[in-house]
Structure 1
Amino acid sequence: MPSVTASSDVEDAVRRRRDDLVALSHSIHAEPELAFEEYRSCAKTQVLVAERGFEITPAVGGIDTAFRASFGDGPLVIGVCAEYDALPEIGHACGHNIIAASAVGTALALAEVAEHLGLTVVLIGTPAEEAGGGKAVLLQAGVFDDVAATVMLHPGATDIAAARSLALSEVAVTYLGRESHAAVAPYLGINAGDAVTVAQVAIGLLRQHLLPGQMMHGIVTEGGTVTNVIPARAEMHYTMRATETSALRNLEDRMAACFRAGAVATGCEYDVRETSPMYQELTPDRWLAETFRAEMLRVGRTPVSTELEAALPLGSTDMGNVTHLMPGIHPVVGIEAGGASVHQQGFAAAAVSPSGDAAVIEGAVMLARTVVALAESGAERDRVMALYEARTARA
């Protein structure tokens, strides 16, 4: 557990800024912005840490809506991820306003003890989690290269300390045929819409042979414009998920055969392209997760059991890619949403409810105290630093 002095300092720091943090959460919620377009939200997330003296580096990784805000010069570099993108039509139904505000609160609190604990605190603005894999892009660009461990949280229906997720990949499949009048000369046409139909039938039949944890879901985004013209172009988008990356690769191969079947059966040309970097499954650091669990209990929350955690994947997140590279956690902090799940309108409303506001403050307190515990535990600090040095040596 963290020391009384340092843990009290970070908790007090969060609670002193309660009004500012809740106001930030509500402001981001009020102006939802989609992936890679979060200009206002990105700017809002930087204000409080800039005022505290954090050094801001904008547009990191070549992404206009990403940033790094650093404080301190200690050898243990801790990343705190802030997400702030929203969903089309339903806004912050995933509660990313809570994520951003709690991350800012965590960073501000850790700044109070950074010198004493030998920390460098890095708040990383990570756009496009819902679509586009912002963290995967930033990892590839080296934005996390100096970071030894990374923390963040996510709101949800219940409290989960060692939250896990599914690996994910997304593709767009385009079929190109030949248009023709559907009544006068249908025999001259090559129906791209039919290619989509054949592919989807094949996908439907594949479902009975999936491995446990594999799943796929898709939509048709283009299939023709009028009924009396055979469509020369059709497109569908599919998301594939699995419990781990190897199973996802297996599913991708089998789905590729289904996509190809549509082209073979109809005579269309076709193209498959990734629309987002692959999201790896979350692999939470056990020690950090158990420390966070203790913090949940301390503030009166009731995290699900470790046995149940493995059975509760929470969709997919690009934070999984981060946890494959370094120790990290992505716990779920429960809010009262009246039975609504993430990605439902009711959850968007809950994200600015008193319960959502409590998640901002308690979440920041729990994350900050978890980092304090890491910094003050000689064995765990040495472990994290050794992993960082080994990663740096490999690179």
Structure 2
Amino acid sequence: MTEANLTHPVKRSIAQEAEKLSGEISGINRAIFDKPEVCYQETFAAALLQEKLVAEGFSVKSPVAGLPTAFVATRKGSGAKGASAKAPTVALIAEYDALPQIGHACGHSLIAATAFAAAAAIVRAAPDFPGTLQVIGTPAEEGGGGKVRMIEAGVFRNVDAAIMTHPSNKTRVVARMFAVTELFFTFTGKAAHAAAFPYKGVNALDAGVLFYNAVSSMRQQLKEEARVHGIFTHGGDAPNIIPEKVEMAFYIRALDREYFQEVIARVRQCAQGAAKSAGCKVSIKQRGMVYDPFYPSYPMGQAFRANMAAINAPEDDFSETEEIGSSDIGNLSQVVPSLHPEYAIGGREDINHSRNFLEAVISKKGHAAALAMTKAMAMTVYDLLTDPQLMAETRRAFKKTK
């Protein structure tokens, strides 16, 4: 495997170029942070990244997959001409959508900035790399499933490995993520005056409460690798009206695809049983995209850890299943070997989607952490492009997950 320390002259040059790009990282992060755009509306962020990548010699295709804010930026290394036909294509993944109301409290502005800077550091320091380097702009991670739609359109068909880094409250190279789906439940009964004629009504709220309690009881028998959580989105219209319609939304998550489907089926059974008990009807609809579980590439993770060690970037002590969520990169990991390291930009209590995290995204500590991850990510991409043994190990490990 390629020597992973900064005595390696090319990696030293990559790290130096990344250091020179510190101002670009800060500038891109701040520009996107100050102009938050929610899923599929990221016109400013996508245009900014494309402009920066063109200036670094990338050819850019946009829109892709019918998505106006998705793009693929491509640059072949000058060593690709003499490389074998199996020279890899490695993609840096950029995200740049914001959250509603709270803006970039998940740090996607930093994800975009580091993806650009890692690509730029590689092409400046080592333009003779074999193979192809891509930066793929993926909109709408926050519930819109941009990567899912891009996978379906074949955007990643020729990609051999994909990598991105994500701001967090911890630094961890290898982590898994839950599959997730949202189910929407509508219980329908019969309205009646709650004082004068309660016996003529059919209480949809009773069905909803029974359902909620059934799910709560079911949780005791769930494996640790699953999560079910939900809310009432409509509980009735007035206290003196027997509720005719009650609506509820639930997220269902699991680490394993098969168990994921099993838990979904059990939640559906809870809803159907509750409706029958209350004399109501229930309709169940899936909303949004289904995100698959994320399976990290362990060979890529080992290379990333070695590169972190080479720049003296520490990793926190967390297992790969502690404090995890869900993302559409899970779907990508089903079709392409993928890595999604996290890095701490604030304190342990500064968690994603919070006001504290929002402040950390543009903090000095956040910038320093993003710069370190840019270096480690760029060096890992260089490893994948230039080390046939690492790429072969990555492919073999990926096949075992299928």
User: Which residue of the other structure, out of 354, 358, 363, is the alignment partner of 1:348?
Assistant: 358
Distance 1:387 1:316 in 2: 22
Task: Say which is worse superposed, 232-241 or 273-282, in terms of deviation.
Answer: 273-282
Q: For residue 298 of structure 1, what is the aligned residue in structure 2?
A: 310
CA contact (8 A) 1:72 1:114 kept: no
Which residue is 2:205 aligned to?
Answer: 193
Counterpart in the other structure of 2:24: 20
Question: Contact between 1:76 and 1:385, CA under 8 Å: does it hold in 2?
Answer: no
AA aligned to 1:192 is A
Displacement after TM superposition at 1:99 (Å): 1.0
Secondary structure of the structure 2 residue equivalent to 1:348 = helix
| Partner AA of 1:340 in structure 2 | D
Aligned residue in 2 for 1:357: 367
TM-score by length of 2: 0.89
CA 1:33–1:229: 2 relative to 1, 3 Å: farther
Where do 5+ consecutive residues of structure 1 fail to align? none
Q: Name the counterpart of 2:115.
A: 103
Conserved in 1, the CA contact under 8 Å of 2:156 and 2:336? Answer: no
Deviation at 1:102, TM superposition (A): 0.7
Whether 2:163 is the aligned partner of 1:163: answer: no
Q: Secondary structure at the match of 1:270?
A: strand
Please state how far the C-alpha of 1:209 moved relative to its aligned partner: 1.0
How far, CA to CA, are the matches of 2:46 and 2:355 in structure 1? 23
Are 1:325 and 2:335 an aligned pair? Answer: yes
Contact 2:225/2:254 (<8 A) preserved: yes
Residues of 2 paired with 1:64 and 1:186: CA distance?
53
Q: Name the stretch that deviates more: 147-156 or 176-185.
A: 176-185
Could you give the per-residue CA deviations for residues 59-83 of structure 1, whole angstroms, max 9, x where no partner exists? 3222232221212264421111111
Cα distance in 1, alignment partners of residues 126 and 183 from structure 2:
43
CA contact (8 A) 1:322 1:328 kept: yes
Asked if 1:264 is matched to 2:276, the reply is: yes
Alignment correspondent of 1:375: 385
Q: Does the 8 Å contact 1:166/1:313 carry over to 2? A: no
Q: TM-score, normalised by structure 1?
A: 0.90
Q: Is the 8 A contact 2:10 2:126 kept in 1?
A: no
Equivalent residue for 1:178, pick from 163, 174, 190: 190
Structure 1 CA distance, aligned partners of 2:228 and 2:208? 15
Q: Which amino acid counterpart does residue 349 of structure 2 have in structure 1? A: G
Give the distance between the partners of 1:382 and 1:310, measured in 2 at CA: 24
Q: What does the per-residue CA deviation read over 1:364-390, in whole Å, with 9 as the maximum and x for residues that have no partner? A: 1111100111222222234557899x9
Which residue type is aligned with residue 211 of structure 1?
A: K
Distance change in 2, residues 1:381/1:211 (3 Å): closer
Q: 1:64 to 1:196 in 2, by over 3 A?
A: farther
Q: What do residues 34-87 of structure 1 show as CA deviations (whole Å, max 9, x unaligned)?
A: 223323333333231122232222232222322212122644211111112222
CA contact (8 A) 1:159 1:301 kept: no
Which amino acid in 2 is paired with 1:51? Answer: A
Of 161, 164, 176, the match for 1:149: 161
1:249 aligns with 2:253: no
Pair 221,146 (structure 1): closer, same or farther in 2 beyond 3 Å: same
Residue 206 of structure 1 and its aligned partner are, at CA, apart by: 0.8
Q: Structure 1 residue aligned with 2:41, among 28, 37, 52?
A: 37
- Determine if contact 2:236/2:245 at 8 Å carries over to the other structure: yes
Are 1:52 and 2:56 counterparts?
yes
SS of equivalent residue, structure 1 residue 25: helix
Please say if residues 110 and 121 of structure 1, whose CA atoms lie closer than 8 Å, have aligned partners that are also in contact: no
- 1:216-274: CA deviation from partner (whole Å, max 9, x where unpaired): 11122222233333333322111111222222122111111112123222333322222
The percentage of aligned residue pairs carrying the same residue is: 31
